[in-house]
Amino acid sequence: MSKFTVGFALISILFTAEIAFSEDKQDKMKENEHKTLKQTLSDAKKRIKDAGTYTWNDALRFLPTVTLSRRAPYDEYRKPTNETYFSASISFNQFFDLADIHDKKAAEKRKDLRKVESLAFNIEKLIDRKYLLTDQIGKMKKIVRSIDEPLEAANKQEKIDALEVKKNETVIEIERLYAEIEYTCVEVEK
């Protein structure tokens, strides 16, 4: 066997091992991102379900209405013989308001749970798209290395750059959707 053949075989073995290692590493990274997404979704659902139904100002509805008044003609108002009245009243019809608040909050929680699930689905698909773009970029880079003609290599490099831009936009969209999940949880917890 010639030295060239041995060298070529050694390089091809190393190159193949590098590709396998790279794909394995990307699969692990993708799996970790999916695990993080599932954990975030689980935490968000728990936060939404655990959010309170009533706020402190709802408790103020049960405070009595207190009235203090004096009864006398205007010109005798300052005399000590005037009658002073003190009254307190409690209105129970605000229980119905509390029932309405409970129903509205329950509907809002259901809507927000569905919204968080939808956002998580979108994130999952964007993660898949990100790794698909990463794979395409890797393949295009290998093609560019094997091309001898500079003009064709430049065209392929432009395609690589366009794919990189798409990948970056996907990463930004993933981060925006994670922020929207957090914002939804914060709004429910108010």
- The C-alpha R_g of the chain, in whole angstroms, comes to 34
Pull the structure tokens for residue 172.
């930004």
Q: Which helix (H) or strand (E) holds 84?
A: strand 83-89
Indicate whether 62 pLDDT > 90.
Answer: no
Residues near 65 by Cβ (< 8 Å), separated by ≥ 6? 88, 89, 90, 91
Phi and psi at 69, nearest 5°, equal: -150, 160
> What percent of the chain has pLDDT above 70?
66
Structure confidence by residue, pLDDT tens digits, 140-179: 888 888 877 888 888 888 898 999 999 999 999 999 999 9
- What amino acid occupies position 8? F
For the chain, the first-to-last Cα distance in angstroms comes to: 76
Structure confidence by residue, pLDDT tens digits, 128-137: 999 999 998 8
Comparing 42 with 1, which gets the higher pLDDT?
Answer: 42
Burial bucket for residue 7 (CB in 10 Å: 0-12, 13-18, 19+): exposed
Q: Which helix (H) or strand (E) holds 77?
A: none
Cβ–Cβ < 8 Å for 129, 170:
yes
Average pLDDT over residues 29-56: 86
Average pLDDT over residues 4-9: 45
pLDDT of residue 7: 46
Indicate whether 38 pLDDT > 80.
Answer: yes
pLDDT of residue 152: 83
pLDDT of residue 85: 58
DSSP three-state, residue 89: strand
- In this structure, of 35-39, 67-71, 117-121, 186-190, the range with the lowest mean pLDDT score is 67-71
